[in-house]
Amino acid sequence: MIFDLDGVLVDAEIWWDEVRRSWAAARDRAWTPADLAAVMGANSLGWARIMRERLDLDLPDQEIVDEIVAAMVERYERLGAPLIEGADLVVRRLAAAGVPLGLASSAHRAVIDAALASLGIGGFLAAVVSSDDVAHGKPAPDVYLLAARRMGVEPASCLVVEDSLNGVLAGRAAGMTVALVPNASVPPAPGAREAASVVLDSLAELESLVELPAASHFLRYSGNTVHEENPVGSTGLAANPKEYRERLKEQEDAQLDAWAAELMRDIARRRGVLRVLADFKKAARVDDRALERIYAAGGGAPATFGHDAKGEPIVPAIMLWALVPGIRREAADGRDRIVEYLVENFEDLVYV
């Protein structure tokens, strides 16, 4: 999961606007909402150039960057981060759950460092990337692609958390799933909701996306019922694969489906999405084309099914659960194939 910073973890978009307005006013210039929209997503030298051109100033771009950045860092040091409610807690919970986390921001690195120092969450992030580290800022995908590369994950397996149109477009251009969490202080530009993969009311909802298969989330897509006598989360393991197969045959469909989705989530975290898909194809006896149909039939968005550099199919880790209801809908013996997947991964279940 890769977070944007301003407007997602910290409510600092207002600070940037206030600093630029004050800086422009000191030079007898007016900084307008249209100017704010023009610099959204640009890297440091990019927004400095835009400021110089729109304000008709004869100054070096780097001088503009240095003065604006210094004012922002001073605010962080003096006031502390303007934390978006619950943001630090969500990051800590996701990290504790084993979700690889990164950050990709348009902000200058000095501002990013000041924000993370104030929030105290830098240690939970596997990669921190500034748009200044790449050739093009948002809406180009560069910053998100670099973050994924530094995290050692495939872009198609990433979920981006954004609050702006340019950020959403950058994530989608990178081939990632994008969750838009609109910021009340600086609402996203028109088109952001339509461009996003999913729109959330708050960061807290991110936890439900990775808590698979929490009963309410899984039932939303499978249409099954989880009964109290077969609680989701219990492995139901036996002494050996043969005995386990017999025990699985006694379980209700909802329980089998929940165990299979839970196993996929665990293996994806420890061994990667490619391993899950390879195991599933083998156990379910399907090829790549059939896998794509199964994924779509189970509720996976077609746009989130892709291929890595080697041509291997890949989907976002948070969407692996779609294979379970999908195989039931696409194959008459879908239940048997789910059982086969669980038995084939008996050793991983023992680990769980």
| pLDDT tens-digit readout, 68-126 | 999 999 999 999 999 998 899 999 989 888 889 999 999 999 999 999 999 999 999 99
Helix (H, G, I), strand (E, B), or coil: what is residue 258?
A: helix
* Residues of the domain holding 45: 1-210
Same domain, 219 and 206: no
In this structure, what CATH number is given to the domain that contains residue 132? 3.40.50.1000
Question: Which residues in the chain land under pLDDT 70?
Answer: 210-239, 348-352
* Confidence at residue 282, expressed as pLDDT on a 0 to 100 scale: 94
Same domain, 201 and 222: no
Q: Are strands 127-130 and 159-162 parallel, antiparallel or unpaired?
A: unpaired
CA 238 to chain centre: 36
* Confidence at residue 218, expressed as pLDDT on a 0 to 100 scale: 28
Burial of 303 (0-12, 13-18, 19+ CB in 10 A): exposed
Same domain, 8 and 157: yes
- Domain finish residue from 161, 177, 210: 210
| Beta carbons within 10 angstroms of residue 34's beta carbon | 8
Same domain, 59 and 8: yes
First to last CA, the chain: 22
Same domain, 56 and 104: yes
Please state the pTM of the whole predicted model.
0.59
- Domain finish residue from 210, 225, 243: 210
Q: Are strands 102-105 and 2-3 parallel, antiparallel or unpaired?
A: parallel
Same domain, 200 and 261: no
* Confidence at residue 195, expressed as pLDDT on a 0 to 100 scale: 87
* Confidence at residue 96, expressed as pLDDT on a 0 to 100 scale: 82
- Domain finish residue from 178, 210, 242: 210
Same domain, 150 and 262: no
Same domain, 127 and 146: yes
Helix (H, G, I), strand (E, B), or coil: what is residue 193?
A: helix
Written as six digits, the tokens of 172 are: 């989608």
* Confidence at residue 226, expressed as pLDDT on a 0 to 100 scale: 31
Same domain, 115 and 199: yes
Q: How many domains does the chain have?
A: 2
Q: Are 164 and 4 in contact (CB under 8 A)?
A: yes
* Confidence at residue 215, expressed as pLDDT on a 0 to 100 scale: 27
